[in-house]
Structure 1
Amino acid sequence: MQVRAIIYEPDEFPDELYQRALLLLDPESSARIKKFYRREDACRTLIGRFLPRMLLHDRGVALSAMEFAATEVGKPFITTQGLDPPIAYNVSHDNGLVVVASSNNTHNPPAFTLGIDVMKVRVPGRESLASFVDSMADQARPNLTTLERRLIASTADQDQALERFFWMWTAKEAYTKALGLGLGFDFQRVEFDPAEDTLRVDGRKPAGWIFSKFVVLRGGDRYQGVVAEFVGGDETTVVAESQLHNWVALEHAAPFIRAAIQRISG
């Protein structure tokens, strides 16, 4: 399993590059991207569409042969014929970072059981940590367990409390995205203890999973993410971010897209 991360800076991504990249995408993807009101959202989505195409290109697949589909709840997957082994992938983005996890995962085709989520560690605007956690935890339905709330509230250091919250949130998101359920899954069923690096679903450790935590530092910004992958067997492992130093391949958006255009169209 691998993770590739793309740094997106709006002032480094000219319109000329954006327009050229759109021409290489399928009409459905291009139309969806053009509907975004904010150019930043359109560019992040565009980068996210190119990441799996580069996975296929690296396997020798021509652009004209690349095919994709999505589940009923919107999880995308590759339908390109003749891939052996198959490619599982999942994309996430937040603020200035777009990430993709990929694997030769053969469990539960066609969408496979792989999910990734990343978030910038910050409290937006002038909101307090407590009000931010409450607003995130109670979006439409309760999302944090009693233990998770206690672990955040009992931390005297605000930075550590914020980091704990984002480990919880990205672990839940990655797991539900791997299942392909998204908003249809009750977040309170998933409980992540970042102090002990343990994850439970309905009070028990789910067998056969690897949860890999990672950190991307960009200037003064810290991004935290989790990859959830079902690998089978009886064990469940949480891999700490300290064990994954330099694990994430980091690139800038403009050079990545320029190289992708040249390689795919060439």
Structure 2
Amino acid sequence: MRASRVLPWIVTILGALYFLLPLVATLEFSLRMVRGTYSLEAYRIVFADARFRQSFSFSVVCALSTIVIGVLLIVPTAYWVRLRLPRLRPLVEFVTLLPLVIPPIVLVFGYLRLYNSSSLMPFTATLTGTNILLVLGYVTLSLPYMYRAVDTGLAAIDIRTLTEAAESLGASRRTVLARIILPNVRPAILSGAFLTFAIVIGEFVLASLLNRPAFGPYLQNVGANRAYEPAALAMIAFAITWACMGLLQLFGGRRAGAVAAPRRISNPFRRKAAP
């Protein structure tokens, strides 16, 4: 009995040390830029760098744009497939998993061949077009994570019953999707959104080959030319990741699949009495 109780604690402690020791070592190294003392000089230099602010803000805008497009694309698709086209689920799941099989470098070279300045849709001829192409590439990379999260959230609720009940009260399909389905899969959407945010912030291949000032190429450039600043950037990126997880716990308070109360479902669609 004692061995069965002690062994899990040993495994937990060893796992914690495996993950925490490199993090502590990186933090300690990032504080040693000033010889003989601990300081935040590396962090000050990073935050004072105009390229850091430019690249990070650019990646944040790209991430938010990717999340919005991904939600508008995935939620109606997953909802319609589960409601009306269940036989197409294997095909849709296969298509959304392709970005995990196709390397990003192959994907971006395909984009460059299809959408260069001499093609019918010359996205790369302008900076705006290149930014749009980059965001669309991010949407493609986020498909496996966003679709799986939304599909899992939809599986936890009875969308057919909710849809029929709302339509019997006079709701249109668009209203059902916006007022019934979206609130009930909100935690699942947030989960996919924060995974997408983390992917976009750290992505390197697409932004580098499209020559855009994103955060991933900036991390690589700093890591190749400096010593202490890369450690500080690693800690900043780690803090951003944990902040995303904290926001997920904060805004996704209601568990996925929690169905709204009947009062909230029926009220928006109750018809007014004739005068």
Which TM-score applies when normalising by structure 2? 0.25
Choose 1 or 2 for highest CA Rg.
Answer: 2
Report the TM-score when normalising by structure 1: 0.25
Bigger relative contact order, structure 1 or 2, given CA contacts below 8 A and separation 6+? 2
* Structure that is richer in strand per residue: 1
